[in-house]
Amino acid sequence: MTGPNTLTNDLIDSWADDSRGPVALHLRQRLIPVEGEQGVIFPPTYADIGYNIDTLSDGTRVAMIDSVGSQANRLEPLFKKDKYSKLVPQIEIELYSKKSEKQEDGEYTKKVSLLDLAHRSADAVVHSSPELAVHIAEAFAALSQRGDAGPLCRIAPTSLVFGVWDSRGNSAEKRPRLVRSIIRAWDVEPLHTAAQFNSVWKSLEDEQKGALKDKVEELKKKKQNVKLSEKGFADAPAIFRKVGTTARKHMHEYRDGSPNPERRVLGGVVSRGEIIREVTVNLVALRALQGADAQETKNIRRYLLALSLLAASAELDLYLREGCHLRFADDRDIWNSVPRRGEPTPLEISSDAAQAILLDYAKTAVEPFKNGWPEQLSYKFDLKEAKNLLAKKEEAENAPE
């Protein structure tokens, strides 16, 4: 039995260039809570539905622990780190400046990196930064009108790596992710919790209690619905979670005389099965990208593949949220090259030697694009433009069909 294929420059080239080559590269990693196997973990919560748990036909319950979008937003800032920062333009947007007595220069400036924006180059903040918005609009126009990914590759390459939709721009161009990552827990058992907040109320004098109650009544007459418990002046049990008005009509706190589990405060899940992180590098979508000519096309595909592989194979921090701290269960990162037909081929991408080859490859692949990087890397958010964007959206919603 032969071992996994060793990573080489020629192999990476073939993935980018050969239309008959594999359709995807796939990584599978097994995760466990830092507390150990079957430790309680907290998935993300969503309005009204709570945890995103699906029940399969055999009764198995599968919980989404980190979504595709969330994983992308965790991976993209990788390219701000010193090791990778010279592989992409480091564009920042100044949100505001204000005087600060704590700063020696008397001014505090709040900036955000393009690599931190949830919608990447199509984010509302970009559209509200006039000088940057012009360059981004031109890049999307080239992609939409001529199929030329070169301009966007030079100003915001990670938008092509992690996917982008110019939904607020004139192009409405939508590009799929080259890197798709998701974490799921299998065979989960949902748990619930409850809490009791004990306030200072019992320690107050009757006169003080009366004065506070009178104030509540006064506010009610002014149409202000204020509760003592909400302000911390009354004991408050936490048994049921809050849901929206529509959901409340169908999800009552009690059902058949007992507390309704759908309305109980969520207490995490226990996974009886595995917690799996899966990462896919889409080589079909990569090879669909075009440049202004054949050489540019080859350069774009190789460069974006290098960025994709670095992101996909990065040692990701797995502290996802409060109560959801995971780690890798072992050293076995299972990589496979997935052909159009037939059995997948094992790969070695995560080793130190393979990572060194990949980083050197990326440093070479970025060179054709560096001359086209924007000279200006710092831009300013314009509140007036943000208001115009809001007005534009409102006009679109009110437009006749």
| Mean pLDDT, residues 21-33 | 97
359-376: per-residue pLDDT in tens? 999 999 999 999 999 999
Question: Given the DSSP bridges, would you call strands 5-6 and 345-348 parallel, antiparallel or unpaired?
Answer: parallel
Instruction: Please choose, from the candidates 96, 109, 165, the residue with its C-alpha nearest in 3D space to the C-alpha of residue 136.
Output: 165
What is the residue-wise DSSP string for 5-37?
A: EEP-HHHHHHHHH-TTS-SEEEEEEEEEETT-T
> CA angle, corner 330, sides to 324 and 331, nearest 5?
125
**Length, in residues, of the chain:** 401
Give the residue carrying structure tokens 């109560």.
323
Q: Work out the widest C-alpha separation in the chain, in whole angstroms.
A: 84
More confident residue, 40 or 236: 40
The average confidence (pLDDT) of the chain is 91
Task: Please tell me the pTM assigned to this model.
Answer: 0.86
Strand partners, 45: 51
More confident residue, 202 or 66: 66
Distance CA 328, CA 30 (A): 6
How confident is residue 251, by pLDDT bands cut at 50, 70 and 90?
A: confident
